[in-house]
A and B are shown apart, each in its own frame.
Chain A
Amino acid sequence: MIYACHLDDLPKGESIRVMADVPIAVFNVDGRLYAVDDTCTHQNASLSDGWLEGCFIECPLHEAAFDLRTGAPTCLPAKRAVRTHAVTVAEDGAVYVHAAVAQPVAEGAA
């Protein structure tokens, strides 16, 4: 379990990047929090710097998009899903990421 930030520091529509075994991006989508691996599965770019539209995050480099609920890519050029991670908010407003167990790094990952 990784402390990410205080809820006040992650307003709606915003994102932050936290370090786990790999960087993880945490998003606030209209009050619901989602976390996915931060690095786009297409090429080296940080999804926490991307364009958030509803539950979808668009990569800032090539406009690959992912569904934050499932991690699945919704359009090319991404072909592989990003991992999703559980997020919880403690009573004091602390946001925690429960990083999924590391999987073998897929071929071609940066």
Chain B
Amino acid sequence: MGGGGEASVQIDEPVLRKLIRAVADTVIAHADELTTLDQAIGDGDHGINMKRGFEAVLADLDKIAVQPLPKALHALGMTLVMKVGGASGPLYGTLFMQLGKSLPEQPTLADLTAAVAAAVEAVKARGKSDVGSKTLLDVLAPVLAALREGGDLLHRLPEVADAAADATIPMRAVRGRASFLGDRSIGHIDPGARSSALLVRAVCEALRAVA
């Protein structure tokens, strides 16, 4: 990622491999936490499902990481679609596949911002949802806003994402199985918001390590 005052990172196979591994390792390490969150307001399988998906990504890492960034993101997204199960598979799969569709092989910050904007719209369409409904969009939208503002993004984005995930606690779910709980969904962090914040932090920390 280059431009906007950020240190420029050449996206090549070793970097891509590190990024994918960082994301997968983080999700797998937090699987129990995500499942516990989902037991509170969902059907209790978010951590298990995401772990299954990212284990499949790691199993295919050699095939995924040798491809240029757009194709690698498409392959990662397709693996999640096919392996995660539950609604989070198509939601995260759509997110990564849309990023793959939008990004060039060596993106600038402007490219990344435009791609995240397109991905947020794609996730909204896939989930028939919007910001404020206690979903992963409540993390992705503030992250997009922070990308547009610029600054020390690799440090700032994880903080924005964590704060946005915490901000889902008082929200009332209107999508997914949590919506059946009505007001009882209030008072818990949304599992999808939490997993999105974990992804953002993993990517930023991995980029900091290679920048």
Genuine A/B complex: no
